[in-house]
């Protein structure tokens, strides 16, 4: 049995058969994905399952990771913030460093392929330094909300776009007008991964006990990197607004770090200081491979939060909905695509708003269950990996036939 056959029990035989049939039209192509880290964050998780499944579908697929000095990641973190509209202070030398690291990686990485998918701004200038003929087609895949970017940073990144044959954004609302064909491809989750598969009840309870969480009391949970845009301090403020009314309530902030995010340690320190010694508020710094721990926490939560101030797509919301949990999230980015008020959860704009919606859901268990069921079906239909793979195959078909206005698949 191949890897893809295992997904028939989730999405059905016809969906997997349709995917294999589509893949036959691009079989044998050499594909390379390039990003900035192999651990931490949604892009690395997606590539972790996408690359082996592409290979099973008959595409010779590799995953390369750009590398640079610590200052490079400081600069690219500023790029990330700037694309989402945050003011940043970058000097000419910072842009020159980004350029030079891309030049060095263009020489170091094995990029010879029929198509190279470049993920986000870190490796964005690779096409500029790669000799012509090594790569037939380039695709820039932006996972960030680029609707209102910092002008100076976007002007620099935009200069690389003419070297690409197509661009991909997660949502139409994230996109910028660019002189290249654009595809809208939301990300997805792997329903059979350690983070999303069903787990034994004994394992779930053991995980809670190991982290000092009471399985018999209501639990609020936010899973995310320790990033100011995820607003962990706002989640703590919401919890403290609730605690006088629900003294039995618990909060867990669970997250990890990523190799390409140098601000994580600083934000974690701020969170620990705000949390103090409150026994019902736990801050868990988890390793990148703690997928089953996150799975157990999400399945144990009464309500899951993702109170982001800025967000890409928000795969932690997707994971929570898949597990049948109502989600309260910041009204931003891809969260707004997944959370529909009174259907799959609630969108909020402040700690007070989050606390108000938590009180509502704690009061009505039947509404929590209904939202959880709707959310699970919503993810099954729109945000599982089979659909994601199918969308990428359509991009490859388009690159072979760029004059086609409609792809019949």
- 392 and 371 share a domain? no
Amino acid 408: pLDDT: 43
Secondary structure element (H or E) that encloses residue 76, with its range? helix 70-83
CA distance 316 to 306: 8
Residue 298 and residue 175 share a domain? no
Structural domain of 130: 4-188+384-400
Which residues of the chain have a pLDDT value below 50?
405-409
Residues 275 and 318 in one domain: yes
Q: Are residues 166 and 133 in the same domain?
A: yes
The number of folded domains in the chain is 2
Residues 354 and 389 occupy one common structural domain: no
Indicate whether 407 belongs to any domain: no
The answer to whether residue 378 sits within a structural domain is: yes
Long-range contact list for 367-372, CB < 8 A, 24+ apart? 367/326, 367/342, 368/302, 368/303, 368/326, 369/324, 371/326, 371/342, 371/343, 371/344, 371/345, 372/321, 372/323, 372/324, 372/325, 372/326
Is 47 in the same domain as 57? yes
Instruction: Give residue 42's pLDDT.
Output: 84
Asked whether residue 313 is assigned to any structural domain, the reply reads yes
Same domain, yes or no, for 291 and 357? yes
Assess whether 177 and 247 both reside in one domain.
Answer: no
| Structural domain includes residue 193 | no
Assess contact for 336 and 317: CB atoms under 8 A. no
Say yes or no: 393 and 375 in one domain: no
The whole-angstrom separation of Cα 94 and Cα 255 is 29
Quick check: is 409 in a domain?
no
pLDDT, position 402 = 72
Q: Report if residue 101 sits inside a domain.
A: yes
pLDDT tens digit string along 345-388? 999 999 999 999 999 999 999 999 999 999 999 999 999 999 99
- Contact residues for 393 (Cβ-Cβ < 8 A; gap 6+): 19, 22, 23, 25, 26, 57, 409
Whether 391 is in a domain gets the answer yes
Q: What whole-number distance in Å separates Cα of residue 229 and Cα of residue 86?
A: 10
What is the domain-level CATH number for residue 79?
3.40.50.2000
For residue 80, give both structure tokens.
């990330």
- Domain co-membership, 68 together with 95: yes
Q: What is the pLDDT of residue 259?
A: 63
Inside any domain, residue 406:
no
Q: Do both 246 and 105 map to the same domain?
A: no
Per-residue tokens: 356: 């108000």
- Domain identity same for 330 and 272: yes
Read off the pTM.
0.88
């Amino acid at each position: 049995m191949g890897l893809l056959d295992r997904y028939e029990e989730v999405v059905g035989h016809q969906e997997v058969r349709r995917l294999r049939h589509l893949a036959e039209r691009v079989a044998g192509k050499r594909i390379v994905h390039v990003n900035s880290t192999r651990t931490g964050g949604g892009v690395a998780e997606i590539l972790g399952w996408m690359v082996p499944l592409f290979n099973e579908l008959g595409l010779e697929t590799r995953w390369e990771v750009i590398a640079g000095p610590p200052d490079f990641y400081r600069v690219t973190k500023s790029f990330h913030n700037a694309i989402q509209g945050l003011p940043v202070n970058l000097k000419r030398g910072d842009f020159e460093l980004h350029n030079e690291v891309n030049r060095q990686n263009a020489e170091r990485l094995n990029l010879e392929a029929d198509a190279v998918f470049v993920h986000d701004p870190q490796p964005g200038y690779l096409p500029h330094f790669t000799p012509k003929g090594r790569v037939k087609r380039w695709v820039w895949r932006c996972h960030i909300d680029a609707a209102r970017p910092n002008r100076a940073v976007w002007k620099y990144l935009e200069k690389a776009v003419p070297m690409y044959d197509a661009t991909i954004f997660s949502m139409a609302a994230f996109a910028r007008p660019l002189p290249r064909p654009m595809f809208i491809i939301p990300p997805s989750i792997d329903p059979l991964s350690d983070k999303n598969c069903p787990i034994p009840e004994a394992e779930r309870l053991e995980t809670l006990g190991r982290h000092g969480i009471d399985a018999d009391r209501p639990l609020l949970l936010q899973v995310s990197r320790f990033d100011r845009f995820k607003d962990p301090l706002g989640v703590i403020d919401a919890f403290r607004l609730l605690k006088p009314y629900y003294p039995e309530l618990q909060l867990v902030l669970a997250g990890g770090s990523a190799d390409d995010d140098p601000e994580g340690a600083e934000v974690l320190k701020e969170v620990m200081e705000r949390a103090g010694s409150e026994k019902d508020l736990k801050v868990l710094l988890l390793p990148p491979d703690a997928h089953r721990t996150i799975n157990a926490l999400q399945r144990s939560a009464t309500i899951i939060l993702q109170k982001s101030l800025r967000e890409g797509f928000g795969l932690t919301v997707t994971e929570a909905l898949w597990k049948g949990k109502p989600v309260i999230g910041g009204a931003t980015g891809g969260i707004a695509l997944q959370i529909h008020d009174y259907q799959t959860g609630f969108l909020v704009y402040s700690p007070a708003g989050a606390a108000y919606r938590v009180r509502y859901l704690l009061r009505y268990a039947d509404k929590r269950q209904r939202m959880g069921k709707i959310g699970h079906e919503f993810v099954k239909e729109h945000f599982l990996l089979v659909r994601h793979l199918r969308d990428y195959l359509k991009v490859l078909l388009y690159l072979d036939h760029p004059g086609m206005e409609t792809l019949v698949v």
